[in-house]
Amino acid sequence: AQSVTQPDIHITVSEGASLELRCNYSYGATPYLFWYVQSPGQGLQLLLKYFSGDTLVQGIKGFEAEFKRSQSSFNLRKPSVHWSDAAEYFCAVGARGTGGYQKVTFGIGTKLQVIP
């Protein structure tokens, strides 16, 4: 079964600073990887996804993530954080579940706080 580890439960960065959120996955085959963002009181929104091809993936809101197979990682980055980026970020891995659909397993989430 697949699993996702987000080692940082809470991260604080200054506005304008760079950001990197860590994600490690466990899956026997080539994974389908995702990053979602959840603002307070809202549902999850897809930031970006990786299926195959270029290992550097661009997403919405200026985010990018890099797939590194050798490290089983899919870290999320942003060069300059804005106060509106304060939210909770979830890494997820997709794998075939019952009936052949893509069963997505989510990490525990990383809460990002942005300070002035």
Partner 1 sequence: DAGVIQSPRHEVTEMGQEVTLRCKPISGHNSLFWYRQTMMRGLELLIYFNNNVPIDDSGMPEDRFSAKMPNASFSTLKIQPSEPRDSAVYFCASSLRGQFDYEQYFGPGTRLTVT
Shortest separation between residue 100's beta carbon and partner 1, angstroms: 9
One residue of 2, 24, 32, 63 binding partner 1 per CB under 8 A: 32
Q: What is the DSSP letter of 110?
A: E
One residue of 59, 76, 107, 110 binding partner 1 per CB under 8 A: 107
> Per rule CB under 8 A, is residue 40 in the interface with partner 1?
no
Torsion of CA 73, 79, 85, 87, to 10 degrees: 20
Nearer of residues 82 and 96 to partner 1, judged by Cβ: 96
One residue of 46, 56, 60, 115 binding partner 1 per CB under 8 A: 46
**3-state SS assignment for residue 5:** strand
One residue of 94, 110, 112, 114 binding partner 1 per CB under 8 A: 94
Shortest separation between residue 75's beta carbon and partner 1, angstroms: 19
Rounded Cα gap, residues 54 and 84, in angstroms:
28
Shortest separation between residue 74's beta carbon and partner 1, angstroms: 14
Residue 91 contacts residue 66 (beta carbons within 8 Å): no
Rounded Cα gap, residues 53 and 4, in angstroms:
21
- Return residues touching partner 1 (CB under 8 A): 32, 34, 36, 41-46, 49, 90, 94, 97-99, 101-109
